[in-house]
Amino acid sequence: MFIRLLKESFTRNPRRKLLTGAALILGMAVATATFTVAVDVGDQLAREFRSLGANLLVTPQADTLPVEIGGVDYRAANRGAYLPVSDLPELKTIFWRHNILGFTPFLDVPVDVNISKSGAAPTNAAALKSVPLTLIGTWYKHAVPIEDGSTFITGASLTHPWWKIRGQWFADTAPANEFGHGVARPSRQALAVPNRASQTEPLASTADFSSQCVAGVSLAGKYGISIGDILNLSAGGRSAAALVTGIVTTGDSQDNALLCPLSLAQYLAGKPGQFRQLFVSALTKPADALARKNPDTMTPTEFDRWYCSPYITSIGRQIQQVLPGTRVEAIRRVAETEGRVLSRVSLLLWIVTIAALIAAALAVGATSATTAIERRAEIGLMKALGATNFLVGGLFLSEQLLLAIAGGCVGFLLGAGLARELGETVFGVATSPRLIVLPVILAAAAAVALVGSWIPLYRAAHLPPAPILRGQ
């Protein structure tokens, strides 16, 4: 009887259910979409902030005071401390290894440079006087073998993503034993050690050069260096020739320097396998009260929580543990802005999400109330025919419940699609639908639909049937 009544109600007047159903579907779709996006967006935004580049700087602990203006280090050559490249794969072994998005070692060498123009005869090269410049050895896209056997491609393309190249980046040819003997180099063909061609031989064609470099844009403008030129670099009795493959714009001190593969700079500096500075780009969590505490004075529980949270300070500590003899500093200009903007934006998005949830609840509640009011006459009739309040209430509430579950399910699917679309448009990454949201959405839909129709139904059920049937 009860089920038949319920079925009748749905089949007799489907149009009446349409409004409530549509509101439920739409409301729950919006709730699902905004909730999914709000949950996912923190990660995505933090990832976007990495377009600001590195947020951690690793330097040797025993280093003397750097005397650097505009990228030129005025320290006497070979002063200062160095760090071994062979330790770098360790970075991908720390607790938050997946949050290390990229790292780039730098080694700067003062060099004397002879420029031979691409078109000019080789004899002219000797005639040009040499100029002292800064050569910065680095990685652009460099393969680093990591513990689990895979290869991690890292370099300035990740830590300095705003660098713009005209032409091409240098081909990075690393020495085969770069990371020591213990680690097998996976599936890389044997690469020749850069051709450190001595200047005794005339250099006929550019094809001979396996050493390549790129010139900073200001430097290129100052000395008239263009793509295809050959630079004869010499420092401390060692020399090499390198082909200019591109002109780089960094907007920073590197605009006044030459950039080359790290191995070439190591050779010229006489520091094989070493570097001076390491820029690390790490995905971090905005600093909160715990992150601002001094880790040395924390209680053990606090320390564990701090160590296992991706704060910039805890990631810095973990890097320091795997790279002995280093000092790891947060690049505060980047790290603090990132933390502040990130926490503000996520708060803003949560507020907007809550507003969307309230709007959804309002829409569902209002339409439920509307349909309930319209059916007061029906209630009056049922009561006149002897139905108890309990039966009437039960009938209408189960009707709403059925609608809510159906509407909630459809709304969830629609909302998941919407969130996917939104994630793809905004971040280029589709958000994955979270099944955990479905029961929450269903419960919310049922609650809102019931609350919305409860008050008018309650009032109708408690009125004497006669006036309602008369239409008053």
Partner 1 sequence: MFKRLLFHLLRGNRVRLTVALLALVSGGAVISALINLDLDVTHKLTQEFRSLGANLVISAPQTATSAPGAPSLIDESAIQSLHRHLQRDENNQQRSVVVAPYLYLVARAGANPGQPVVIAGTWLDRISQMEPWWKIAGTGNLSRTDLSHCLIGRNVSRSLGLTTGSTVTLHDRGQSVSLIIAGVADTGGSEDNQIFASLPVVQTLAGLGGKIELIQLSVPGSENQVRAVANHLQAVLPALDVKPIPQITEAEGNLLQRIRFLIFSTGLLILVLTVLCVLATMAALAMERRRDVGLMKALGGSIQKVVGLFLAEAGVLGAVGGILGYALGMALSVWMGHRVFGASISPRWEVLPVTVVLMLGVALAGALPLRLLGNVRPAVILRGE
Residues 27-56 that bind partner 1 (CB under 8 A): 27, 30, 33-34, 37, 41, 45, 48-49, 51-53
List 5, 6, 19, 203, residue binding partner 1 (CB under 8 A): 19
Distance of CA 381 to the CA centre of its chain: 62
Separation CA 338–CA 285 (nearest Å): 9
3-state secondary structure of 259: strand
**Would you state the structure tokens that stand for residue 137, as one six-digit string?**
């050895």
Characterize 155-194 residue by residue with b for buried, 16 or more Cβ atoms within 10 angstroms of its Cβ, and e for exposed: bbbbbbeebebeeebbebbbbeebbeeebebeeeeeeeeb
Give the interface size with partner 1 as a residue count (CB under 8 A).
82
Rule CB under 8 A: say whether 138 interacts with partner 1.
no
Separation CA 361–CA 315 (nearest Å): 42
Q: Least distance in Å: CB of 369 to partner 1?
A: 7
Rule CB under 8 A: say whether 22 interacts with partner 1.
yes
Separation CA 43–CA 47 (nearest Å): 6
Rule CB under 8 A: say whether 304 interacts with partner 1.
no
DSSP run (H or E) holding 72: strand 72-73
List 18, 126, 344, 467, residue binding partner 1 (CB under 8 A): 344
Stretch that binds partner 1, among 64-72, 149-157, 261-269, 395-403 (CB under 8 A): 64-72
List 7, 164, 188, 305, residue binding partner 1 (CB under 8 A): 164
List 8, 329, 388, 389, residue binding partner 1 (CB under 8 A): 329
Rule CB under 8 A: say whether 337 interacts with partner 1.
yes
Stretch that binds partner 1, among 3-11, 290-298, 364-372, 386-394 (CB under 8 A): 364-372
**Would you state the structure tokens that stand for residue 193, as one six-digit string?**
């050690």
Separation CA 100–CA 94 (nearest Å): 9
Residue of 428, 78, 49 whose CA lies nearest to 235:
78
Rule CB under 8 A: say whether 90 interacts with partner 1.
no
Q: Least distance in Å: CB of 436 to partner 1?
A: 21
Separation CA 472–CA 470 (nearest Å): 6
Helices 14-49 + 2-12 axis angle, to 10: 80
Rule CB under 8 A: say whether 363 interacts with partner 1.
yes
Q: Least distance in Å: CB of 25 to partner 1?
A: 11
**Amino acid identity, residue 431?**
T
Q: Least distance in Å: CB of 29 to partner 1?
A: 9
Q: Per this entry, what is the length of the chain?
A: 472
**Would you state the structure tokens that stand for residue 153, as one six-digit string?**
């491609």
List 162, 166, 384, 458, residue binding partner 1 (CB under 8 A): 162
List 143, 219, 257, 259, residue binding partner 1 (CB under 8 A): 219
CA distances from 159 to 16, 49, 145, 335, 423 (A): 59, 11, 18, 13, 24
Q: Least distance in Å: CB of 299 to partner 1?
A: 25
Rule CB under 8 A: say whether 349 interacts with partner 1.
yes
Residues 411-470, interacting with partner 1 (CB under 8 A): 418, 422, 425-427
Rule CB under 8 A: say whether 74 interacts with partner 1.
yes
**Would you state the structure tokens that stand for residue 426, as one six-digit string?**
């905004």
List 13, 99, 218, 226, residue binding partner 1 (CB under 8 A): 218
Q: Which is nearer to partner 1, 308 or 429 (CB)?
A: 429
List 114, 211, 250, 274, residue binding partner 1 (CB under 8 A): 250
Strands 238-249 and 212-216: parallel
List 90, 208, 336, 378, residue binding partner 1 (CB under 8 A): 336
Rule CB under 8 A: say whether 7 interacts with partner 1.
no
